[in-house]
Amino acid sequence: MASRIPLRRALSTVATARSSLKIGLVPADGIGREVIPAARLAIEALGSDIPKPQFVDLLAGFELFQRSGTALPDETVDALKECDCALFGAVSSPSRRVTGYSSPIVALRKILDLYANIRPVLSVAPTPDEKPKVDLIVVRENTECLYVKQEELKHTENGREARATRLITERASRRIGTMAFELAAARPRKHLTIIHKSNVLSVTDGLFRETVRSVPRLNEGRFDDVQIAEQLVDSAVYRLFREPQIYDVMVAPNLYGDILSDAAAALVGSLGLVPSVNAGDNFVMGEPVHGSAPDIEGKGIANPIASIRSAALMLRHLGYAAPADRLDKAVDEVVRQGTVLTPDLGGKSKTEEVVAEILKRI
């Protein structure tokens, strides 16, 4: 079933006798404002299978920054801290430097200590014989690497010089390593690949590699049945396209994980199919892997599937496995049927038509 991940031990017991489930909604930019409402409809369609959802609409994003000078208002952060979980849409971070602007999703991951980005990638529709089935999870460290955004630009006699600080810590590497081992141990293959480039970056990637490898030793036999492999990030991308079936769970520093998960999405047809959760020990936020897609914004053809799958991941992470399965099953049936799909999947349907088809099956 699509989007399946094992429960995290820290949050799997949270599904107790709640009377309501408070869910923050942060559509942010572009098609985020089209796909997050789709996820809300899917959650509402679950009815009494989950506590009554209470949705809190919140603001963030580059477009908000352009209007107000703030990409992530304090009110949004404070409200999220009062929620049980959240869904984030997409953000239009510019490729050029904009003074005063910083990505709100990167900031939220740090503020809420959502140290793991979990991105399952799974083939759903039948694949031709020459294309192997994809069933893997990219576990991406979410708070460090180059995403600490410590950059400087200075003028020298040879022209401008730009430098960026890359941060890898033992603490963060151990936390993401433990998360990855837990996920691998709960899957049938029990296989974990550590992605790094320590043949070149022997200090930073070396620390990541060594720390992740040390996790089984520090956990008293909990992960003895997990097979460990390693792959340099450049060859990992090559092998991902040539033989994706060799991968089960992949764990990587922030930048590598970002690139690998987007690359893996190409193997299953579209970024519009791939969900994720930003997870910590006390909070979880679903987030479709795709961006804000300004080229299709407002055309009514955005693919809502990744946001609905992200909602399923979020619910499963909270301990609501059966309702999450209902969402996943409905999505899988629509994708396999293949008659009501958005253009990114070769179809001609509108966003609202795909949502309606999924809702009929929930």
Query: Of 84, 115, 197, 332, which one is the catalytic site residue?
Result: 197
**195 φ, ψ (degrees, to nearest 5):** -100, 130
**Is the Cβ–Cβ distance between 175 and 281 less than 8 Å?**
no
Cα Dmax for the chain: 68
Tell me, yes or no, if 190 is annotated catalytic. no
C-alpha separations of 15 from 9, 50, 166, 329, 351 in Å: 12, 9, 38, 21, 31
Given the structure tokens 């899988």, which residue do they identify?
332
Q: Which of 84, 205, 248, 258 is catalytic?
A: 258
Which residue's entry shows tokens 């460990």?
Answer: 228
Other Cβ atoms closer than 10 A to 194: 23
101 is catalytic: no
Among candidate residues 225, 234, 238, 299, the one labeled active-site is: 234
Task: Say whether 258 is catalytic.
Answer: yes
Contact indicator for 252, 195 with CB cutoff of 8 Å? yes
**Helix or strand or coil: residue 303?**
coil
* Residue found by looking up tokens 């299978």 in the block: 49
User: Catalytic site residue 225?
Assistant: no
Is 74 marked active-site? no
* 67, 100, 105, 109 from 63: Cα distances, Å: 6, 13, 14, 20
Q: Is 175 exposed, middle or buried (0-12, 13-18, 19+ CB in 10 A)?
A: buried
Q: Where do we find the tokens 């709960």?
A: 186
Q: Given 113, 262, 281, 325, which residue is catalytic?
A: 262
Write down the catalytic residue from 29, 115, 135, 147.
147
Q: What is the DSSP string of 124-149?
A: -S---TTS---EEEEEEE-S-EEEEE
CA dihedral angle for residue 37, residue 39, residue 40, residue 41, rounded to 10 degrees: 90
CA–CA separation, 133 and 212 (whole Å): 27
CA atoms within 13 A on the CB side of 66: 9
Task: Catalogue the active-site residues.
Answer: 147, 197, 234, 258, 262
